[in-house]
Amino acid sequence: MRAPDPLIGRDLLNGQFQIIRKIGTGGMGAVYEASQPSMNSKVAVKILHAKLANRKDLVSRFHREAAAMSHLTHPNTVKVLLYGEEEKDGLLYIVMEYLEGKNLNQTVRADGPLPPERALPMLIQACLALQEAHEKGIVHRDLKPENIFLCTQGGIKDFVKVLDFGLAKVTEREMRPGSIILTQEGMVFGTPEFMSPEQAQGKTLDARSDIYSLAVILYEVLTGKLPFDAKSPMEFIQLHVQKEPIPLSQRVPGKTFPPELDAAMAKALRKEKEDRQESAAEFAADLQRSLDVLQGRTPAPSAPPAPHLQRVSGAPAPNAGLDTATPDPPARKLSMTFLVLAFVLGAGLAAAIAVLALRR
């Protein structure tokens, strides 16, 4: 029998918050539901595992996630209310808005592949949330269905909240003074099924890597399948780098999509980032045109490519760490986060030297 969680019932910040129950857990910490008596409301509190509190690198990741998320104000990004460290025992916490609903992975598991009329508005919202992050020099780097949460807000169903900037790459101007640089060139963090080719190779990332990941998410939401047939995480990584994806309308026998959507997805899944949409906003516009066609509206003409967003480059990429925990659904067979040191020879992935699985 497991020992009771010592954090249940604990007060934070001199009684401002009281932890009620654990919502879920990740490789580095856990997320709890907590009450806020003064506001008669609930919040979510992310707490770093106590056993990791003496790891300066992980503590720095935790702070960096909080700092990255606190700069984001888009309504489709989960809102960080405050973050810090308890003076009496060094407990590290992030207080966020409390969300009720399901993540996109849970939704597809329950409902099956979603019709594009429902799926496209979700991904458009996610694009717009990421656009703000990219404009602030933040690349998410771990987009997957588990990190896109669906709730009802203001009476609007399927309202999207993008979660878990725990692996976010943040520019130097967004970093706290004294933050430890955690990621070196050639180190890869993310989830193999949804990695961009450049991420799988440990290359410098920008907004277009997140666009690739969003396209893989949408592909799975629409078809129930990924763009490649693979039997292992390492094979997913190799295929992202080496093989062209199966075209969307060829993935499931008897299921086709508007040519506009096929074209938008094919562009977002190009191997070379220079060949993809330039921004999340441009990808959102392509998806909106596809939705207009599906709903019988005349789509707006394609806009010229957006100017390049500020590229996130220069210093080695920091890694902000803690996985956002979600209620534990049946585990995705290959949905885990891997740390891979990858070397690329010629056109392909020659060897993967280290693999560290972080339990989702």
Give the predicted TM-score (pTM) of the model: 0.79
- Answer whether residue 4 is part of any domain: no
254 CB contacts (<8 Å, ≥6 apart)?
Answer: none
Tell me which residue range forms the domain holding 88.
11-97
**Domain end position, chosen among 77, 97, 117:** 97
Which regions in the chain score pLDDT beneath 50? 170-187, 305-360
127 and 93, same structural domain?
Answer: no
CATH number at residue 272: 1.10.510.10
Q: What is the pLDDT of residue 131?
A: 97
CA angle 322, 123, 163 (to 5 degrees): 15
60 and 107, same structural domain?
Answer: no
304 and 195, same structural domain?
Answer: yes
Q: What is the pLDDT of residue 166?
A: 58
- The single residue of 11, 142, 164, 229 carrying the catalytic annotation is 142
Q: What is the pLDDT of residue 335?
A: 40
- Answer whether residue 1 is part of any domain: no
- Answer whether residue 52 is part of any domain: yes
- Answer whether residue 231 is part of any domain: yes
Number of separate domains in the chain: 2
Please state, as a whole number, how many other Cβ atoms lie within 10 Å of the Cβ of residue 237: 26
What are the two backbone dihedrals, phi and then psi, of residue 41, each rounded to the nearest 5 degrees? -145, 175
Q: Is 142 a catalytic residue?
A: yes
Q: What is the pLDDT of residue 167?
A: 53
Q: What is the pLDDT of residue 276?
A: 98
The rounded distance, in Å, linking the Cα atoms of 233 and 355 is 10
Strand order in the sheet with 92-97: 11-12, 17-25, 29-36, 41-48, 92-97, 80-85
272 and 139, same structural domain?
Answer: yes
Q: What is the pLDDT of residue 68?
A: 78
Cα distances (Å, whole numbers) of residue 132 to 128, 158, 284:
7, 20, 13
255 and 339, same structural domain?
Answer: yes
291 and 346, same structural domain?
Answer: yes
